[in-house]
Amino acid sequence: MSMKTLTDEQRSKWAIDGYLQLEQVLSPDEVAFFTEQLDRMRKKPGWEPDLSELPIGHYGWVPRSHNQDTESFMDRRDLLPYDPAFIDLIDRAGVFDLIVDIMGPYILHSMSQAIVRASSEDFPGYTHTDGGEALRRIRVTETSHPLAMKAMYLLSDVDGPDSANFTLFPGSHLRPFPEDADARPTPHSPGAAQLTGKAGDCYLFPHSLWHGPSPNSSGRARKTLLYNYCQMFVRWYDFELTSEVKERCTPRQRRLLGDLGYDFRPGSYFYAPVDQVEVIQPTAASATEARRR
């Protein structure tokens, strides 16, 4: 199996601007399928922010979403148990290939998330780096692999400004940015790029890039899926690998979910298993063999 790599133009854009937009990686049928999954997910228990009980950024288990209206805000974590299609998105052909080209093969899937950004006059948007406060202070060079990155799949068209656009500051992964919340850039600050896109597009960006959602006054909700990846020693931070999920995975997906093929012992994740490269970037012969297993 030969995996796709970045074009020269993509490699240069990734290095300088710190993001890529991949067009139409999900088909219209897949967009419809995942959108329906998000709408149904609200009716099931799951992890969502609970600001009344927990500090910002911490998620609580909600027996049922606070709001069943499919156009209202939702921020659901740990998607893999909801449907096997969410597991398959972990190493989605055409996207995962580029993630491996960008990050190298010693990686893990670290988080999955579904966000619905409602149309509302109340939400001003916000700008941040991912990985908590740490990754805004760790700026790797243009030629370095990132410590962590995200693939963000659009399930809605985003046509104009202030439509819950994914908004970023190109190049901000390489330079210091104001950390003081009062001085922090907003989705309308000079240099902010409010990206547009079509349902089925995917944005790739490292955790160290300043980014966030713009306000949404478009009159309709914007729905997205987010899949995060990290270097192996960083490890995953948003799920427990259950046996139900594990049983549905291919060997590569299991490895990406942290199953090294043996029980944890000191040194695990610090050093990769000897077959790591072959599992993540299989050759044609070994891929056929792995599918048979």
Q: What is the C-alpha separation between 133 and 146, in angstroms, rounded? A: 16
Residue of 49, 146, 187, 212 that binds ligand AKG (CB under 6 A): 212
Q: How many CB atoms lie within 10 A of CB 139?
A: 17
Q: What is the C-alpha separation between 168 and 212, in angstroms, rounded? A: 6
Q: What is the C-alpha separation between 162 and 4, in angstroms, rounded? A: 34
Kindly indicate which of the ranges 40-48, 65-73, 91-99, 206-214 contains the residues binding ligand AKG, using the contact rule CB under 6 A.
206-214
- Minimum CB separation of residue 217 from ligand AKG in Å reads 15
**Contact set for ligand AKG, span 149-178 (CB under 6 A):** 150, 166
Site string for ligand AKG, 86-125 (x = CB under 6 A): -----------------------------x-x--------
Instruction: Mention every residue, 6+ apart, whose C-beta is less than 8 A from residue 264.
Output: none
- Minimum CB separation of residue 129 from ligand AKG in Å reads 8
Residue of 80, 111, 192, 226 that binds ligand AKG (CB under 6 A): 226
- Minimum CB separation of residue 166 from ligand AKG in Å reads 4
Cβ pair 100, 261 in contact under 8 A: no
Tokens of 125: 């948007």
Residue 60's DSSP bridge partners are 48
Largest CA distance in the chain: 56
Q: What is the C-alpha separation between 146 and 137, in angstroms, rounded? A: 13
Kindly indicate which of the ranges 4-12, 32-40, 84-92, 207-215 contains the residues binding ligand AKG, using the contact rule CB under 6 A.
207-215
Residue of 130, 187, 216, 249 that binds ligand AKG (CB under 6 A): 130
Residues at the interface with ligand AKG (CB under 6 A): 115, 117, 130, 150, 166, 211-213, 224, 226
